[in-house]
Amino acid sequence: VSFTCQPADIDESVHADEAPEDYVARMAREKAAVVVDATAGEQPVLAADTSVVIDNDILGKPRDHFDGLAMLARLSGRTHTVMTAICLHTANQYSCEVISTEVTFTGLDRASCEAYLATDEPWDKAGGYAIQGLGGAFVSRIDGSYSNVVGLPLLETWHLLASHGVDTRLPAPAGDTR
């Protein structure tokens, strides 16, 4: 898909008692709305938001070294969920979907966490890690979409775009086989 990227500056605060699924869907919808307003809705707008969820708590991007260390310690040896909401605006309507992937980390010692936090990689990532980079070494198991954990679930995005008439280089297969 030919596209341009436009950031959407929104308040990413979690509302009181907001479920993780509702939070990521709201973030994607609000990001899309900002871009739709800026472009006067002249073209389709796709927005996404990804969060890491453990014990029903949403882990955003680490604020500082100690926050990053706490996140990695919490994920160590445990399974968490990565949720990404994709939201497409076309013809004055929004279509949103939330995709979830279960990710299990190996046990991490403090030295491994400190070495990882000394890199540039974890700082702009939900949950403080990047599966497509060095953080992928921490992952012992994944159940679901790998591209979802990276940040944009490609299969689901392809189907969403194609089902709403957005031209993709690859036509979506007849019948949803997901």
Mind telling me the catalytic residues? 49
Cβ proximity of 96 and 30 under 8 Å: no
Contacts of 24 (CB under 8 A, 6+ apart): 49, 50, 51, 83, 84, 85, 98
Q: What's the alpha-carbon Rg for the chain, to the nearest Å?
A: 17
Distance, CA of 111 to CA of 117 (rounded, Å): 10
DSSP 171: P
DSSP 169: S
Cβ–Cβ contacts within 10 Å for residue 67, how many? Answer: 15
Kindly give the residue spans of alpha helices, DSSP state H, lying in the chain. 20-39, 65-75, 110-117, 146-150, 154-163
